A and B are shown apart, each in its own frame.
Chain A
């Protein structure tokens, strides 16, 4: 179970660090927080490639949902830029 613990702890530390740093930097845009957190999540879960297949499948499902959210944020931003 130590692998699962490591994954959960690294995700928690990464999100806390990202949110703190962005808040300290005076960032007020929620999309920036969301995008960076999603990227960190995708990178960290990708590093745990040796997890058992069932855990991998479960994480892949969440990753796909988050990637979808990331694409929606990017699409909204692109539309905003195109509209001027």
Chain B
């Protein structure tokens, strides 16, 4: 009974169930009867919403996210990888979108083509030094939550991002997407995750940037890299994604 929506819903239902017949039959007031019925409708809505809250607490989710990030961060730090990750669409990675981090820094990785093997250490080019590690990111996991694959327009990417970031994960208030040349400019307002200067974020980007990169990569069907991530005041976040090949 700790669910606040259930408590509010039951309270409103009780109020509506008592107040509306009382207003109609005893007080003889139609506006007050309507108010009682409105409370009843709102009460049922709150009760319905109460049952759709996530089973796992936000604290448990944060713990799981931090564990995964620290493990991947430790792996990246141990291997000394500093290159920015390249987000691949699912068509290039055995049906699951993933991020590729080149093992050699400074290699030209503009032309990632064809299907990359479904392993941790993969080859992405013809040169022996064209090796990378492929990891799952928050963005790649979230792609399964989309009912349909988004189309390549900025409107469709924005709708998919709003659905995931605002509707499902409640990580931001709104998302705005613009595509120009080979750049995807994203503006997120009311972001509830702060940027941390840690190895994981420097390589793979913050979870919100990672989600945006994975959605854009999947929508455009091309590899994408997080070029820039700026965190402003009041949870404003500006992400610039570079579309490769």
Whether chains A and B associate is yes
Chain A contact residues, CB within 8 Å of chain B: 1-4, 7-8, 11-12, 15-16, 18-19, 22-23, 27-30, 33-34, 37, 41, 48, 50-55, 57-59, 61-62, 66
Which among A8, A18, A37 is the interface contact of B49 at CB below 8 angstroms?
Answer: A8
Would B37 and A33 count as touching, CB distance under 8 A? yes
Which among A18, A33, A52, A66 is the interface contact of B167 at CB below 8 angstroms?
Answer: A52
Tell me how many residue pairs across A and B have CB atoms closer than 8 Å: 89
Chain B contact residues, CB within 8 Å of chain A: 5, 8, 24, 30-31, 33-35, 37-38, 41-42, 44-46, 48-49, 51-53, 147, 159, 162-163, 166-168, 170, 173
A1 contacts across to B, CB distance below 8 A: 53, 170
Would A52 and B37 count as touching, CB distance under 8 A? no
Report the separation of the CA atoms of residues A57 and B48 in the bound assembly, to the nearest whole angstrom: 9
Would you call the interface of chain B mostly helix, strand, loop, or mixed? helix
Would B38 and A37 count as touching, CB distance under 8 A? yes
Q: Which 9 A-B pairs have the closest CB atoms?
A: A50-B167, A33-B34, A23-B31, A58-B48, A15-B38, A54-B52, A55-B52, A50-B163, A52-B168
Write the chain B residue with the least CB distance to A65: B44
Which among A8, A48, A55 is the interface contact of B42 at CB below 8 angstroms?
Answer: A8
Report the separation of the CA atoms of residues A68 and B28 in the bound assembly, to the nearest whole angstrom: 26
Write the chain B residue with the least CB distance to A36: B34
Write the chain A residue with the least CB distance to B24: A30
Contact (A62, B34) CB under 8 Å given A8-B42, A41-B41: no
Which among B34, B41, B53, B159 is the interface contact of A66 at CB below 8 angstroms?
Answer: B41
B35 contacts across to A, CB distance below 8 A: 15-16, 19
Write the chain B residue with the least CB distance to A53: B147
Contact (A62, B38) CB under 8 Å given A1-B53, A8-B49, A33-B30: no
Report the separation of the CA atoms of residues A57 and B34 in the bound assembly, to the nearest whole angstrom: 26
Would A62 and B52 count as touching, CB distance under 8 A? no
Contact (A62, B45) CB under 8 Å given A34-B34, A52-B52: yes
Would A37 and B48 count as touching, CB distance under 8 A? no
Would B42 and A11 count as touching, CB distance under 8 A? yes
Would A30 and B34 count as touching, CB distance under 8 A? yes
